[in-house]
Structure 1
Amino acid sequence: MRETIGKYLDTIDALKLEERMLCHNTLILGEVGSGKTNLACRIRNYVIDMNVPTLYMDFNNSHEEDVELRYKDEHFNYIRFEESDAFDEAFKKLVAEKKHIYMAVDPNFFARKRDEKSKLSQIISQQELLDNYYYFFHDIENLNGFYTQFEDFLLYMLSFANLQKYGFTFLAQPHETFENPHLKLLFSFLFLGKCSNANYYNTALLKTLKKNKFLYQYRTAYPTLLFNEIVSSIVKIDEYVLEE
């Protein structure tokens, strides 16, 4: 089990992933070179070890040869999204077999109008996926107008009738993207379950963190009348190297 992913910098404790993270949203913020992909890879390894299939959506639309080697393990199944019968058949087969999926996606496939639901959104909001898969959305910065282009799927995802069995991991840039108050509200809700404070994410602090260091925040597990207490710590993530 690969649950130990780093250490706390304010205590001597190791940073370990817990099973309950499979049922909560996870947000990773960082600039290029900050180590966010390394952290996502470590989370993916843990999810795989927990026998939960993963759907990793790469909005850089990367070619297979450009995907980082640490993702190319025995669980790596690359596919590029397109609106075709061939894609539908190949994707359906992967899902039926509960394979781990690395899907390259061109964000232009999302609907441009709010009253339309794109085929891409229809594909990734299939109930079978929502019930069984752990989602990764990589490089949301590439989605120009993310909160409008992606609106059809987000509204479905946030419906109380469709709360996911497993979590969502978001990787995004904190600078220009997160100066947008609409995005701060959106991600505050997805990550913490509330959206009362548009300035919750302190991008000034995030900008100062060195590679593989993150502000780690989580809700405590014990129940309260309102939202559980939020705990914050600075952590350092171990560099993951693909085993030969």
Structure 2
Amino acid sequence: MLLQHFIIIGFLLSLAVLLLVAMETCPSSGMPGIPGIPGLPGRDGRDGVKGDTGERGAQWSSSLGPQKGQRGDPGPRGHQGKLGQSGERGKPGSLGNIGLPGDPGEPGTVGLQQQAAFSVARGTTEFPDKASLIVFKQVITNINNDYNTNTGRFRCRVPGMYYFVFHASLEDKLCVLLKLDNKLLTSFCDHRRIKRHVTSGGLAVYVSRGQEVWLETKDYRGMTGRYTGYSIFSGFLLHPY
């Protein structure tokens, strides 16, 4: 009975093997099916267990000791940072030392244009008229003809501070008025009756361009002029402005 069972089981196994072989060797007669839709990505797996610490490296052994490695190449330059806020203004520094004098400049022509001076003499023995403008005819110095020998007036060409002065040879009493554009600046009087003596007077005053300066007599007019003693009127620029 047992033997029959083994025979039946062996037959069935042989039949099953033949069927399987037939299925693999026989070509399928149907068309391939449409590929299926890809499935969703699976989730990441869990982190693995941390590995064990590695063994310590061998210690450097050399008579020179530890050696510094070579310097690496510089990295790329970073972007420029934002401009920071301005700091507070610092206190003024201490005064520096005085510098050495510079070399003299080359001679220019401006100084020549800023010159003004005249000296004129009254070359006559006659007294000037009473209460009249005194005219000096003889020129001693007259830069750019600023003094007019016909009118007896000095006309300002270079504005600035001037000094005017007169020296008079007298044979009688004299009063002289110094005027600027008909404005009385000052008067000089000598009431002595000494024969042939000298008097003088002067004044510094600012004169603008185009203004005129002259001398006038008052009631006394004993000014004369001769080779033994001239009467002179002078003026010159002290400082231009």
Q: TM-score, normalised by structure 1?
A: 0.22
Which has the larger share of helix? 1
Structure with higher RCO (Cα < 8 A, 6+ apart):
1
Which has the larger share of strand? 2
Which has more radius of gyration?
2
